[in-house]
Amino acid sequence: MKRSSYFRDVAGRFKTHKLAMAGMCILLLELLLLVFLPVVMDLEPYEIYSGFGASPSREHILGTDNTGRDLFARLIYGGRTSLYVGVVSTLISFAIGVPLGMLAGYYRGPVEAVIMRLADVFMSFPSMVFILVLVSVLGPSLSTATIVIGIMGWPGFARQLYGSVLSVREKEYVEAAKAVGTKNLPIMIRYILPNSFAPILIAFTFGVASAILQESGLSFLGMGVQVPKASWGNMLYAAQSVSVIATRPWMWVPPGICLLVTVLSINLFGDGLRDALDPKMKL
């Protein structure tokens, strides 16, 4: 018998997945840049320099925006915002969706009916419209965007977990745990959650990607992160006019590319994770 653990097997399979490894490397690199570049290069995203609307130069690599803020600094800080919104709002969805999905799948009956119908209701709203309404009521800001996107995302997690809990709860080892008198909460935490966690973990990565996109969409509509705070979305918003698109591509191409590369990398990473966690499962 060879010694091996579940984690080592997963890591082994993940390593053979080239695209996923590439995605992971890009994400790590991006994270490093976002954390250290401002310190190393002494970037100031809020400082207003004299020449506004300037073209790229040695001083400002990507030029300045219409108010005279350094665009490269804003790109980096915007990345921080995007990732922050992506991760935090997904965590909020996760924190709401996972317990609800678990309860619905484990107890079935009325609990299941209430939670899952609620999820259906949430999912049948056109979410962007709903988010827009909420934001206009609460007033647009970074935290509103994060919270609203987070709240709208829970049904996805709840459904995903609910589905796997339904199958795991019928497994004999769960019955065995009941047979030795294990209480419900420990059964959920020790027996069901670890065995239905893989799809949730994968859903988390995809959730981050989609939250980043939602945030940029929201900001692009002017309802998300507000200037002077930078985000990739509101940088695109600032470059909306036809003349800017045509004549000053440095204002919108870099944030656009960053957004694309980030979301793509996260999705590739998620794909690899899915294949590694469960070679049989294909979503």
- Asked if 3 is part of the footprint of another protein (rule: CB under 8 A), the reply reads yes
What letter does residue 187 receive in the DSSP assignment? I
* Three-class secondary structure of residue 170 per DSSP: coil
Name which position in 11, 31, 176, 260 contacts another protein (CB under 8 A): 176
Tell me: does residue 117 bind another protein (CB under 8 A): no
Under the binding rule (CB under 8 A), the answer on residue 42 touching another protein is no
**Binding range to another protein, per CB under 8 A, among 43-51, 84-92, 182-190, 245-253:** 182-190
Q: Which of 227, 226, 222 is nearest to 240 (CA)?
A: 222
> Is residue 280 close enough to count as binding another protein by CB under 8 A?
no
In this chain, which stretch among 68-76, 113-121, 143-151, 166-174 interacts with another protein, using CB under 8 A? 166-174
Among 36, 55, 178, 201, binds another protein (CB under 8 A): 178
Return the bridge partners of 64, or none.
Answer: 70
Q: Which of 36, 173, 247, 249 contacts another protein by CB under 8 A?
A: 173
What are the DSSP calls for 208-265, one per residue?
HHHHHHHHHHHHHTTSSSPTTS--HHHHHHHT-SHHHHHH-GGGTHHHHHHHHHHHHH
Going by C-alpha positions, the residue among 159, 170, 59, 42 that lies closest to residue 104 is 159
Q: Is 70 helix (H, G, I), strand (E, B) or coil?
A: strand
In the list 6, 139, 246, 280, the residue contacting another protein (rule: CB under 8 A) is 6
Cis peptide before 228 (omega within 30 of 0): yes
DSSP-based three-state secondary structure for 168: helix
Among 124, 126, 172, 282, binds another protein (CB under 8 A): 172
Least distance (Å) between residue 269 CB and another protein: 23
**Applying CB under 8 A, does 109 fall inside the site for another protein?**
no
Among positions 188-227, residues that touch another protein (CB under 8 A) are 190-191, 194-195
Assess 166 for contact with another protein (CB under 8 A): no
Give the distance between the most distant pair of CA atoms in the chain.
75
Size of the site for another protein (CB under 8 A): 23
Residues engaged in binding another protein (CB under 8 A): 1-6, 171-173, 175-183, 186, 190-191, 194-195
